Amino acid sequence: MVDFDWVDRGRGILTKRDRKFLRGDLEEQLTDNAKYQKRHQIRDRLRNAMFDFHILYRALSFQDVNLIWADIDRWIYDAETARQTGTKMEYPGVPLLAECWRDAIALFAYSQIINETLDAESLVQWVVESGINKAVRRHTFDSYNMYREVDSTLDWGVGELYKLLDYLDEVENDMPEDPQEAKDYLLDLQKDGFLRSQHVNYLHQKCVDSQ
């Protein structure tokens, strides 16, 4: 993960205090009722923010949208230049904002598939597919004054289940021997959702701290 201050930045859905609370960094101790109220406030603001995206998609101009994702646009330009010239990019392979959008999609998908019903999976699939279709059609209208047919398809690609200890053994076998490289390897797996924090701590203590 790039060097980024996840707490001390401008107001978004979360306040700085919210961020400290969710990360377990609040200095003061909250009562159970205060914790409940805080989580209720966060859920309520997040829900209202989703309604705001309905307005933002329709009201923000192309120029506004382009400026919001300036970091991603710069990454795309540099990546294309590097690909054409055969050089290597000097910063992470995926821009941070793209990772954050990935996590937003993951949050919604997770909130639905925990129901373990076909209707919930179908809803996630509809959101992703129709969102892509809608964006492609809008781009074609705005940029070319034409209409484009589009029918995107989400392939879940869900594979077989593994016993957790068997899976952790496989991860352990692939870990680099160098302690810092091993730590970075585990954190990358956690960032991409292949491990939870408790799994990282378990493997780090077993394979790195014990050396």
Mean pLDDT of 18-37: 94
Number of domains in the chain: 3
Asked if 203 contacts 168 with a C-beta cutoff of 8 angstroms, the reply is: yes
153 occurs within a structural domain: yes
The string of pLDDT tens digits covering residues 64-117 is 888 888 888 888 888 888 888 888 766 557 888 889 999 999 999 999 999 889
Taking the C-alpha atoms of residue 88 and residue 171, their distance in angstroms, rounded to an integer, is 28
Are 154 and 98 in a shared domain? yes
184 occurs within a structural domain: yes
Which residue range(s) make up the domain with 171? 160-211
Q: Which residues contact 30 (CB under 8 A, 6 or more apart)?
A: 21, 38
CA distances for 188 relative to 2, 7, 79, 84, 173, angstroms: 11, 21, 21, 28, 16
Domain end call among 14, 33, 59: 59
DSSP one-letter code for 210: T
Are 151 and 164 in a shared domain? no
pLDDT of residue 68: 86
Whole-structure pTM value: 0.84
Are 127 and 154 in a shared domain? yes
Least confident piece of the model among 52-56, 82-86, 126-130, 137-141: 82-86
The string of pLDDT tens digits covering residues 179-203 is 999 999 999 999 899 999 999 999 9
Give the burial string for 113-135 (b: 16+ CB within 10 Å, else e): eeeeeeeebebbbeebeeeeeee
Using the predicted structure, report yes or no on whether residue 1 has a pLDDT greater than 50.
no
